[in-house]
Chain A
């Protein structure tokens, strides 16, 4: 499975990618994996071995890192190869930018594995990323550098693929396989070049050391060696590879890069050896270019060069130990085995021990038989696999890295169980013979090597060898140093996990708009072929960090905002002024509109208006217009909005202490109603209602001495009993309100009423707003299923037997149409409903949530609410919910340039027609996902434009229009598409799509659809963008290499795959919750952040670890956050010191797992930890209650639920298994 991912992103990723690239090398592993996957790993192993030979050698030879990857790959068996992808990237990236990065990476990679030591320092950082990839990484690292370079270049894709292939090859390289692979890659020449670089060889060589060596550190030391090896090996390999071409090339290239990255020497050596010239040249070039440009050149050059590289690659195998190994499969095994997924492991093991050879041979034979042919044929085989990988890799600069990563990781794991490549690397690094060590770890390989231990191998697919989210995240962080400027069209922003500053230069900030693809296919056919969803996640009122300017407010005077005559698009930077500025042409519909006299301005020589930079609407991506009365409902300036609090005072609510808590809190909260100018009191009016089976309205008119209660028992036909005095200004009526809030808990203290109504409650609020003729928000605090006789009365329909059947969908649908109609009315009035639920049993969230969801409101759920433990969470949520900026009575319209159209919308809103998204309320946390479809062709020159206009009433009652403009590129090559995707956004879209799907389809069908779509996306890539490689390789686009892991998380989510203990309410709740999440929230929701709490330094967070139980150390303490939950996991054998620092108690047994906040201790660790927790909470829109989980404790089950890479209790596949499955799917599609 070469998870070669293209690093389309090359440029940015480029460097980091290198790191990946290294992992990419792992790809080789993938390649093997491919084999492995299908037939599990075993087969892969075989193949791998086969590949290994070829690839490994190459890879290794060329890249020390590769070797490692290769190693990984090989050893792991091809399966690992997926990871190989990483390698692919490695190469390219490594090339140019990589130089630095690459070098580092390489080092790291190497370091990861072997180099670790020296580079360790450097390596560590990168290592992390590469680390995991470790083996690959290590190797990768070397490669990565090259990848980056490659990536840098546009061809990244190819490069990647190439690299990938290379990677594979690399895996192959270890032994002949490498070469063999290379050939196939040949198509991918570049990769082959990488292969050529066959860092592997070098790695392999270095491997042993290489493993460490791969990591740059070793590089230096090892590098040299590797280089040497490479050279030596390279040449040979190249030659052989040459034949192999692509993959090998890529790899070579990467190797080359690595080389470059590596000490120049290495590069030189590589260049020299590998691509021999071309590669070297390219590589070097790339390196220099490191940035992005390099990549391209590299590629270009690479291709040609690559072959050589490959050839060189092969040699590599031969190189060092490989040679020996190589000859037989050994070469592969040796260097590659490691990379090779299972095989790799085997290989690695072998390698070190010499085992490689045998295994390789053996594996190949056994598994690879097909491959075997490969060995000799391996190459041929390899190609495919490698190609797959390499292909990806090419793009791989990014892709490769990861792939490699995986691969590398596997090795690491083997070598270093833990995911942390860095450390391992370090360790490895020290141990130059890590490979051997790997070999050990890779036991699998041996098996593979031997008979057809394939199965085992499969099972053994090393988690470290597969793309790691953590690495991707860390790499992205590392490469984001400068503010992100939005001026360049089609530029993908940093990941949501990265802190970065945004400078608005004409397109909306990614904080407002994120797209799944920044390079849209020009035609519908392409889009359909790729299956990549084209969507944007828009968060119109997102809050910006303090250092970014909020959108300017523009006033165009009485005439209102200036708009296109035909499509009504608002004035924006895309409008073309013509005829000396007297008219402008709409870039959305091409219509020419007169410029009103008061707006006229002369144009300068470039055709720009002279005042362009004085006007936000002509120079910025996001800004606001003041709306005129024409934009108001009924052509009346809106009244200031109102907040109405509707509090359940039935027995349950009173008994749990809820009522008193709410009343107490409201007293202070009312001073913090949203306002635009902090100096001025909020103009928002408030009203209060309590209810059980009947409703109690309160007259809190300022002139009254005491509040008055008005009971409405006629719930069947709701109305508002009073007008004057219900909605009041807080300051004027403060006395009365406080008196009321004091008395409410007393009044109902003895209530015995347990029945509640719900529909009438919302109706009441709605009617009140209607009567006051204003928009507003209802805060409903509700406890139980509304069974009292009234409209919207519900039945308990929780029936777990339906789960898994075709009727399951009905559980997500509201049981009464009443609420849909009510929601419609609410939206018409601009009545937004926020629902706070405190259920002790089934309350039918699916139905109760209809109105909140349709009105842009939020649902908060506190199951089994207990004042003591849940108060804090609830109150913080409430505070935030009340205080957060919000707009009312909003209508959102997305306009697009001709050729594309917004067709579907996901989120909390209501739609009356197909274009207008109506939101009764829109707060700063709500995101709307918009899907686009082609209705015509797009042009590459003009790209695709979209303008999102949100007309809303601000909290001060001002009518405004917020405009977000976004332009993306268009491409006629699928490769460009795959290079400019954002996986997080895609996942956001897919999850919303799926979660809506469960309303109408059996859950299983939804899951299958998701898997299919994902497989198609990847298969399309494989088919059209990746260089040809063996079908056994999993090749992933760099940008999407995390797609499988994330998708798996979506599939495993409670909504789609409920565990036995997950209630229907929870599922419905999550379903609705996610529908309005933005990308950052879905990201952490699906792939929780897991921080090891070892050393806490101020200013920086510890590097997260992957969500797998394997990553948890018994002696550690971990913090896990999902955006909804916050766990503190304490290992059973945790150090006393840590306990003292955190809990103030020396004994594990004395930790009170019911605590919801950590004790305040006067030590830096405790302080920092609490700071971190606070900062986490501050980041999320909902307050996360801290749950302390002790290892082996009962509560750990819940915690483990969030270790999403593991098999879930409800039957969700582990990441590794899912990756295999995905690969199978892809292969099916390809065949």
Chain B
């Protein structure tokens, strides 16, 4: 049904939205029976090179609890110069500036192709972006040098008027004053003491004398003198800061044998948050935390400094053996919430061979829209390039980052908002369209995303509330409006409005249509997000069970089968891939913690819940390309049968790029054929996947781990753990003809999974 696919594609391109269902069941009951909720993946700031922003204020519905933005779906009476809100049906007069409106002279927002439109508004002072580096100095010398280099380099990438600040920490936390000449000055905090924001501001001398706060309002952020000491425009302190970074020394406190260095990450972050809170609340700011190890002291401590006590593992957590976990998590959550409340985002760049406490700290980024980057060392291209990627620019030369985003959702009255899953926090806005049924971060129709990138994607979950006995007239349409206010990286305040509409369909009579409107990719990702969201708070097996159940119910609903006859089971084309996604999702690191450290799990989940659909799908089901002399590169099944001796495989899991040389290829390479002029084609064959990989590496953020391995190589595990184990040591006998590589695992293969699924789907007892 190419039309739907085209429709979906078109919608995504235009509005950055993918719905699980593109026809909406018209009653709550029917909707519930569809198993997969009406929901969508929404990319608020999807890059739209073709969409120039308009330079005026949006026209809002005058109803106090509606305030929907004028959009193409509104009924307009050009003569009366009034428009009817399509959400609340309030009739609103056009503002005076729209006096000249007519059928032939319509503002952009009324044109159907501008279902997504962006306004530039003049509101409040334009404050420069703020970048606050929080740098761990308990690093190996090599790492520190590399990090210093990266930081110095980054100064040249920052917008010249941006404010920068520097906090370094190790055993102590130092806030560097950048305005002073001569003696380099810094404020020092001990790393073991939790300080309130007020204390921090007092200690930094940011509190004005009592006389200045007569109205009891927060200390004015414009206290230029005070704040400027720590946050200075890049162009002014460029040299100073470069020198300062250059002089950064490793934490000088001795680290006894058998101990970890004392690292006060918690206090450093607390100081950073407190500093910004006191000086620039509600402006775009980025706290960039660079850590080379786990916090080992003070609040937010993740592990003690005794090396003999290893950092918590999933095993410890399951056994409730992680001493600091809850306390640290609580601490970082509090910090994240404060930071989010002030619109500041926190990035975490963690480079270490061991864990660094991302599990505890993840909320900092998750709630504020910050990045998490995990690497082995700051001295790797993974880090340096990813870090540069943060400062990448779009086609307009603007940074691909936005701040202080607030997403508000308005729905037509048949719909309510259940929640959202993504890098956002609830603003607790209790509008009429808020459902009592929470999915993800619910209970609100507004969310704050302190930092946004063009790819930041939220999963939005809706609920059809129309009662079964109040059918919607044929041809009725439901609508959703996404209003995203944010601070553009050029400091402009902008509002992007996306208004979506879909047809209602009666599930009883139009089930076929509904089925065919199913977007299985979006649904897979949306369900996966729900699963991951649950996994944060529930036991892994429960989540899997829930997922399985949903899958079975879906199959029961839409499968064609004879009861109790698994072999008769069929799924329509629009659902055919869905079980396979679920199969891989079950095996993915988002839901499986085996073989992953808590940090890795956190890292993977972090990215999974913020990337757009394409990237998310890659994460669920990695892409496998095969290169051979037999033809052009082709995608192949993510299956062990695809692992052939004369192929080169390129697997993209989003987090890793694996190039795998089949056995024969590897032998050839060892033999050095590629060096021989007569085997130039072999050389090219070897090069082809690398080139493709490079293309991916350049565009992807964060940069994936690049792995070049071969048959029998230790790193081949990355490939082997992902492919469907269709051939294992258990069915070796079956192996013969087509070959492939047996995977030594007891995991079930897709085949087994499907068989089982069919059996359950057709079972009447399920």
Q: Which A residues contact B (CB, under 8 angstroms)?
A: 694, 696-698, 704, 706-714, 717, 719, 721-725, 740, 743, 746-747
Partner of B186, one of A704, A708, A717, A724: A708
Write the chain B residue with the least CB distance to A695. Answer: B188
Bound together, the chains give a CA A721 to CA B202 distance in angstroms of: 18
CB of B202 within 8 A of CB of A724, answer no
Chain B contacts to A: CB under 8 angstroms: 172, 174, 177, 182-190, 193, 195, 199, 202-205, 247, 249, 252-254
Those 4 A-B pairs whose CB atoms lie nearest each other, nearest first: A713-B203, A721-B188, A724-B252, A709-B185
Q: State whether A711 and B188 are in contact (beta carbons under 8 Å apart), knowing that A743-B182, A747-B183 are contacts in the complex.
A: yes
Question: By the criterion CB–CB under 8 Å, are B190 and A709 in contact?
Answer: no
Choose one: A694, A709, A719, A724; the contact of B183 (CB below 8 Å).
A709
- Check A722–B172 contact: CB distance below 8 A: yes
B195 touches A708 (CB 8 A): no
Q: Is the pair A743, B183 in contact by a Cβ cutoff of 8 Å?
A: yes
Contacts of A710 in B (CB 8 A): 174, 185-188
CA–CA, A969 and B205, complex, Å: 67
Asked if residues B187 and A711 are in contact (CB atoms below 8 Å), the reply is: yes
A663 shortest CB reach to chain B, Å: 13
Residues of A within 8 A of B203 (CB): 694, 713-714
Question: Is B252's CB under 8 angstroms from A723's CB?
Answer: yes
Interface centre among B177, B184, B193, B205 (most CB of A within 10 A): B184
Contact yes or no, B253 A723, CB < 8 A: yes
Q: Verify B183–A722 contact, CB threshold 8 A.
A: no
- Residues of B near A697 (CB, < 8 A) are 188
Q: How far is the CA of A932 from the CA of B189 in the complex (A)?
A: 50
Let me know if A706 and B184 touch, CB within 8 A: yes
Contacts known (A719-B172, A724-B252); A713 close to B205, Cβ less than 8 A: yes
Asked whether B202 lies within 8 Å of A713 as measured between CB atoms, the reply is yes
Inter-subunit contact A721/B183 (CB<8 Å): no
Instruction: Return B247 CB to nearest CB of chain A, in Å.
Output: 7
Q: How far is the CA of A706 from the CA of B204 in the complex (A)?
A: 22
Other-chain contact of A724, B195, B247, B249 (Cβ < 8 Å): B249
The complex places the Cα of A747 from the Cα of B185 at a distance, in Å, of 11
Is B182 in contact with A706, judged by CB distance below 8 angstroms?
A: yes
Q: Which chain B positions have C-beta within 8 A of A721?
A: 172, 174, 188, 190
**Chain B residues with Cβ under 8 A from A714's Cβ?**
189-190, 193, 195, 199, 203
How far apart are B188's CB and chain A's nearest CB, in angstroms?
A: 3
A719-B190 contact, Cβ under 8 Å, with A694-B203, A713-B205, A714-B203: yes
What chain A residues lie within 8 Å of B205 (beta carbons)?
694, 713
Question: Closest residue to A715 on the B side, CB-wise?
Answer: B203
Min C-beta distance of A976 to chain B, whole Å: 63
Residues of A within 8 A of B252 (CB): 722-725
Nearest B residue to A718, CB-CB: B190
- CA A710 to CA B189, docked complex, whole Å: 10
| Pick from B186, B193, B199, B254: contact of A711, CB under 8 Å | B186
Name the residue of chain A whose CB is nearest to the CB of B188. A721
Give CA–CA (A569, B658) in the complex, Å: 79
Q: Which of B186, B188, B190, B249 has the most CB of A within 10 A?
A: B188
Given A710-B188, A714-B190, A724-B252, 4 extra CB contacts under 8 A: A707-B183, A713-B202, A713-B204, A721-B190
Contact B184 A709, beta carbon cutoff 8 Å? yes
B191: nearest chain-A partner, CB-CB: A719
Chain A to chain B contacts (Cβ below 8 Å), 30 pairs: A694-B205, A698-B183, A704-B247, A707-B183, A708-B183, A708-B186, A709-B184, A709-B185, A709-B186, A710-B174, A710-B185, A711-B177, A711-B185, A712-B188, A713-B187, A713-B189, A713-B204, A713-B205, A714-B189, A714-B193, A714-B195, A721-B188, A722-B172, A722-B188, A722-B252, A723-B252, A723-B253, A743-B183, A747-B182, A747-B183
A708 to B249, CA, bound (A): 12
Q: How far is the CA of A860 from the CA of B247 in the complex (A)?
A: 40
In the complex, the chain A residue whose C-beta lies closest to that of B186 is: A710
CA distance A746 to B202 in the complex (A): 24
Q: Closest chain A residue to B184 by CB distance? A: A708
Rounded to whole Å, the gap between the CB of A649 and the closest CB of chain B is 13
Q: What B residues does A747 contact at CB under 8 A?
A: 182-183
- Separation of A710 and B247 alpha carbons in the complex (Å): 14
A704 CA to B183 CA in the complex, in Å? Answer: 11
Q: Who on chain A is nearest to B249 by CB?
A: A724
Cβ of A49 to closest chain B Cβ, rounded Å: 80
Bound state CA distance, A722 and B189, in angstroms?
11
CA distance A707 to B181 in the complex (A): 11
Q: Which of A704, A710, A725, A740 has the largest count of B CB atoms less than 10 A from its CB? A: A710
Measured CA separation A186–B247 after assembly (Å): 93
A709: chain B residues at CB < 8 Å are 183-186
| CA gap between A596 and B247 in the complex, in Å | 58
Considering the chains assembled together, what is the distance between the CA atoms of A696 and B187 in angstroms?
8
The docked-state distance in angstroms from the alpha carbon of A711 to that of B204 is 9
Distance (whole angstroms) from the CB of B435 to the closest CB of chain A: 47
Q: How many Å lie between the Cα of A481 and that of B174 in the bound state?
A: 67
**Of the candidates B177, B190, B247, which one forms a contact with A717 in the assembled complex, judged by CB atoms under 8 Å apart?**
B190
- Give complex CA distance A503, B78 in Å: 121
Complex: how many Å from CA A694 to CA B188? 11
Whether the pair B185, A717 counts as a contact (CB closer than 8 A) is no
B188 surroundings in chain A (CB, below 8 A): 697, 710-712, 721-722
Q: Determine how close the nearest CB of chain B comes to the CB of A13; give it in whole angstroms.
A: 64
Report the bound CA distance from A600 to B202 in whole Å.
Answer: 69
Return B270 CB to nearest CB of chain A, in Å. 12
A1198 to B253, CA, bound (A): 55
> CA A724 – CA B171 in complex, angstroms?
13
A676 → chain B, closest Cβ, in Å? Answer: 29
Closest chain-B Cβ to A1198's Cβ sits at a distance in Å of 41
Q: How far is the CA of A694 from the CA of B203 in the complex (A)?
A: 8
Bound together, the chains give a CA A713 to CA B188 distance in angstroms of 7
Distance in Å from the Cβ of A572 to the closest Cβ of chain B?
A: 43
From known contacts A694-B203, A706-B182, A708-B183, infer whether A717 and B174 are also in contact, taking CB-CB under 8 Å: no
Cβ of A710 to closest chain B Cβ, rounded Å = 5
Q: What residues of B have a CB within 8 angstroms of the CB of A723 in the complex?
A: 252-254
How distant is the Cα of A721 from the Cα of B252 in the complex, in angstroms? Answer: 10
- What's the nearest-Cβ distance from chain B to residue A647, in Å? 14
Cα distance, A62 to B199, chains bound together (Å): 89
Instruction: Kindly list chain B residues whose C-beta atoms are within 8 Å of the C-beta of A746.
Output: 182
Query: What CA separation (Å) do A696 and B247 show in the bound complex?
Result: 19
Q: Please, how many angstroms separate the alpha-carbon atoms of A709 and B182 in the complex?
A: 10
Chain A residues whose C-beta falls within 8 Å of the C-beta of B195 in the assembled complex: 714
- Closest A residue to B204 by beta carbon equals A713
Cβ–Cβ < 8 Å partners of B202 in chain A: 713
The answer on a CB contact under 8 Å between B187 and A712 is yes
- Give A684 to B253 CA distance when docked, in angstroms: 21
Give the distance to chain B from A752, nearest Cβ to Cβ, in Å. Answer: 10
Nearest chain B CB to A776 CB, angstrom units: 19
Residue of B nearest to A723 (CB): B252
- Alpha-carbon distance between A369 and B205 when the two chains are bound, in angstroms: 85
Min CB distance B172 to A, Å, is 5
Closest chain A residue to B185, Cβ basis:
A709
Minimum CB–CB distance for B237 against chain A, Å? 15
| A764 → chain B closest CB, angstroms | 11
B185 to chain A: which residues have CB within 8 Å?
Answer: 696, 708-711
CA distance A712 to B185 in the complex (A): 11
CB distance from B279 to the nearest CB of A (A): 16
In the bound complex, what is the Cα–Cα distance between A725 and B187 (angstroms)? 16
Q: B177: which A residues are within 8 A, CB to CB?
A: 711
Q: How far is the CA of A725 from the CA of B253 in the complex (A)?
A: 11
Query: Which residue on chain B has the smallest CB distance to residue A711?
Result: B187
Residues on A with beta carbons closer than 8 Å to the beta carbon of B249: 724
Residues of chain A contacted by B184 (CB below 8 angstroms): 706-709
Task: Give the distance in Å from the alpha carbon of A709 to the alpha carbon of B174 in the complex.
Answer: 11
Residue of A709, A723, A740 with highest tally of chain B CB at under 10 A: A709
Contacts of B189 in A (CB 8 A): 712-714
Nearest B residue to A722, CB-CB:
B252
Q: How far is the CB of A715 from chain B (nearest CB, A)?
A: 9
Q: B183: which A residues are within 8 A, CB to CB?
A: 698, 706-709, 740, 743, 747
Chain B nearest Cβ from A1078, distance in angstroms? 43
